[in-house]
Amino acid sequence: MTVEWGQVLWAFAWGGLCAVERRGFLQAMVSRPLVAGTGAGLLLGDVQAGLYVGLLFELYYLGTASLGASRPENDTLAATAGAAFAVGLARANGAPSVPAVWSLGVLTCAGMGPLGRWMEMRLERHAAGLLGRAASIAEAGQLRRAVRQNLFGLWPFFAAFGAVTALASLAGQLAAPWERRVPLELLRGLAWAYPAMASVAAAIAVRGANDRRGHLYAGVAAVAVGAAAWGAGP
């Protein structure tokens, strides 16, 4: 098979941009999973895959927040990597993405949240040193140089998170031959896994909002998904 290196480069650029936006470069909510995933799908040529992968991660992480010394998982990396993997897999197979592909993107990149948190903690040590140097330069009256020094501290985040997103895109393309060998029954199960995971993520989001009717919503969603799966039959 032929790897679409242009897709990998676009994934690198988008993953890096979302990472620095998350750090406070733009603060336009681009790093939210729904926007980050949809943007990845738009750039890589499959908006639907990016939208549905980003939507699931948006629901799952909707109730998380950084409180005190606690640090939430990196929901942005999970969304960009999951979307890049799903799009890469679908395009390598030469077919539009389907729910089974979205499920594979989500399941493959679900661990990117903890990984992204670990990466942020390590990179912040380097950024802290650059920030202190920028403060010293600003005190000396060299404001433009201080701004450049501060912006330079964002490049490690851009490179690291962009590289992980690019690797996810590459992995999706390389996984295409293996996906074609998966039995039809398993693919059907993966297709139904997406609405099931979305229902669970929605219930988690409602619970995170401390809604008193959260259990009711979760129960109704579970019954609806179960009924749809039963009606579809084997």
Instruction: Name the residue ranges covered by the structural domains of the chain.
Output: 5-183
Q: Which has more pLDDT, 174 or 151?
A: 174
Place of tokens 């733009």: 26
* pLDDT band of 234, cuts 50, 70, 90: very low
The string of pLDDT tens digits covering residues 39-89 is 999 999 999 999 999 999 998 998 665 554 567 899 999 999 999 999 999
d(CA 227, CA 195): 12
Q: Kindly give, in sequence order, each residue whose CB lies less than 8 Å from that of residue 16, ignoring residues fewer than 6 positions away.
A: 157, 158, 159, 161, 162, 165
Q: How confident is the model at residue 182 (pLDDT cuts 50, 70, 90)?
A: confident
SS3 63: coil
Q: How far apart are CA 32 and CA 55, in angstroms?
A: 10
**Residue of 118, 121, 51 lying closest to 83 (CA atoms):** 51
Report the C-alpha gap between 109 and 128 in whole angstroms: 29
The model's confidence at residue 122, banded by pLDDT at 50, 70 and 90, is confident
Mean pLDDT of 169-182: 93
The model's pLDDT over 153-170, given as tens digits with 9 standing for 90+, comes to: 778 899 999 999 999 999
Mean pLDDT across 128-153: 61
DSSP 3-state helix, strand, coil percentages of the chain (rounded to 5)?
75, 0, 25
Q: What is the DSSP letter of 72?
A: -
DSSP 105-144: HHHHHTTHHHHHHHHHHHHHHHHHHHHHHHHHHHHTT-HH
Q: What is the pLDDT of residue 105?
A: 96
Band (36; pLDDT cuts 50, 70, 90) = very high
pLDDT tens column, 183-221: 989 988 999 899 889 888 877 777 666 666 666 766 676
